[in-house]
Structure 1
Amino acid sequence: MTVPLQVTFKDMDPSPALESRIRAKAARLERFADDILRCHVIVEAPHRHHHQGRLYRARVEVFVPRGDVIVTREGPLNHAHEDPYVAVRDAFDAAIRQLEDHVRRLRGDVKHHEPVMRRGRIARFIAGEDYGFIETEGGEEVYFHRNSVAGDGFDRLRVGDEVHVSVEEGEKGPQAVVVHPVHRRSAD
C-alpha cells in the first residue's frame, strides 16, 4: 500500500526535486507502521526577507489510527537547516522515532519501570573527580555521579553518610539514577 501523501510548500517556490525526496521518505514510513492513513509534509521558508541564513522549517504529520505523529523541525540555532533537504531529513528521522514509539505503545511493548529506592552508605569518592561509589545494604557497589545527587547535596556528602539510591544497570555495571541523602535530625 502506498501512503497517501500531500506536500505543501509555504513562502517558497515548489521544488520537484525536494518533493521527490519527500515522496521517497514518506514511502519508507510503511516499514515502521503498516496502518498509516495519510501523511502531510509542509516545507516552509519562514523569513523571506533574509538573503543569507534563511532557515527552513519542515513539518511531518503522519495520521494513524489511535493517535497521530506530528513533528516540526525548525532550527533557529541549527544552521544546517539553511538547506531544506536537511530540515526534511531531520523531520522524517524524528517522525520515524515517534512512529516506532507509537507502535510499541499500541503493542504494549513499552516498559514501565518504577524506581526502587535502596538504602546504602557512601563508600568512597574518587579524589579530584565528581563521582564516587555507594555500598547498598545488599553489599552491591554502585557508581554515582554529582549529577545524580538530588539538589545540591553532592558537596555535603561524606564517606559513611546514609543515602537512598535508585539503581539501574549501566554499561559498566550498576549506577545510581537518583541519590537522596538521608538527613538526620539534630537533637535540640
Structure 2
Amino acid sequence: MQGQVQVTFRGMSKPMWIEESIRSHLKHLEIFFNRITACQIMVERNQKRHRQGNLYHVRIKLIVPGHTIVVNREPAAQHEHEDIHVAIHDAFNAVQRRLQDYVREMQGDIKTHMTPNVGEIVKLDHDKGFGFLRTSEGAELYLHRNAVIDGRFSELRVGSKVRYVADAGDDEKGPHASTVVPL
C-alpha cells in the first residue's frame, strides 16, 4: 500500500486476529489495484440488541488517485453479521466491486449504449430472400432474410422502417445490415 492504513474498533477490544484478517483482505485488494493511497477501516459492535447476538458494522474508506470509495455495511437485519468474519468479508467484497468499477472507468472500459440505427427498405425480393435498406445518411446496405429477427422478413415491404446494426461485411459483398427489426 502506498499510504497509511488506519483500523479503528468501537465497542469492542482490538483482537489481533481480526486486524490480521483485515490486512489480508487489503493485500488482496492491492494485488488487484496497487495504487491505493490510503485506507480507513472502522469495525463497530452494535450493542443495542437485547434478544439476539450483537451485529457488526464495518465501514471502509479507500482513497485512490482522484477518487474516494466508501462502503458502509450496516448490519440492519442481517443476522449473518453476528459473525465478525462475515461482516468484514461482505464489506471487502463490496469495496472490491466498487474498485473494479473505478478501474474499468479509468481504463475506458465502461460500456456505452449506442443509439439504434433506423433505415428504410428500398428494394426487396421475397422469393430470393434479400433486399436493400437506405440508411439515414443515404447509403444502401444489403439485407438478407436471415438478418431479420424472429423470421419477420415476410412482413417487410418497400418503404418499411427498420432498426438495424450496420456491419462492414467482407470485401466481396461489402457492408450489410444485421439484427434487423421491423418497426
What TM-score does the superposition give when structure 2 sets the normalisation length? Answer: 0.61
Aligned to 1:109: 109
Aligned to 1:174: none
CA distance in 1, matches of 2:87, 2:66: 27
CA distance in 2, matches of 1:107, 1:32: 14
Report the Cα offset of residue 91 of structure 1: 0.3
Whichever residue aligns with residue 22 of structure 2, its letter is: I
- 1:104 aligns to what SS in structure 2? helix
CA distance in 1, matches of 2:100, 2:110: 11
Report the Cα offset of residue 50 of structure 1: 3.3
Number of aligned positions between the proteins? 131
CA distance in 1, matches of 2:51, 2:11: 14
What TM-score does the superposition give when structure 1 sets the normalisation length? Answer: 0.59
CA distance in 2, matches of 1:22, 1:3: 16
CA distance in 1, matches of 2:117, 2:52: 53
Give the fraction of aligned pairs with identical amino acids, expressed as a percent: 37
Aligned to 2:46: 46
User: Runs of 4 or more off by more than 4 Å in structure 1?
Assistant: none
Q: Confirm or deny: 8 A CA contact 1:3 1:26 kept in the other structure.
A: no
Q: Point out where structure 2 has 5 or more consecutive residues left out of the alignment.
A: 119-146, 152-162, 164-182
CA distance in 1, matches of 2:117, 2:87: 42
Whichever residue aligns with residue 141 of structure 1, its letter is: D
Q: Confirm or deny: 8 A CA contact 1:11 1:48 kept in the other structure.
A: no
CA distance in 2, matches of 1:47, 1:108: 44
Q: Confirm or deny: 8 A CA contact 1:3 1:27 kept in the other structure.
A: no
CA 1:53–1:115: 2 relative to 1, 3 Å: farther
Aligned to 2:65: 65
Task: Show the 5 A alignment for 1:144-163.
Answer: none
Q: Confirm or deny: 8 A CA contact 1:11 1:44 kept in the other structure.
A: yes
Aligned to 2:14: 14
Q: Out of 45-54 and 20-29, give the one that drifted further.
A: 45-54
CA distance in 2, matches of 1:109, 1:29: 20
Q: Point out where structure 1 has 5 or more consecutive residues left out of the alignment.
A: 119-137, 143-164, 166-181, 183-188
Q: Confirm or deny: 8 A CA contact 1:5 1:26 kept in the other structure.
A: no
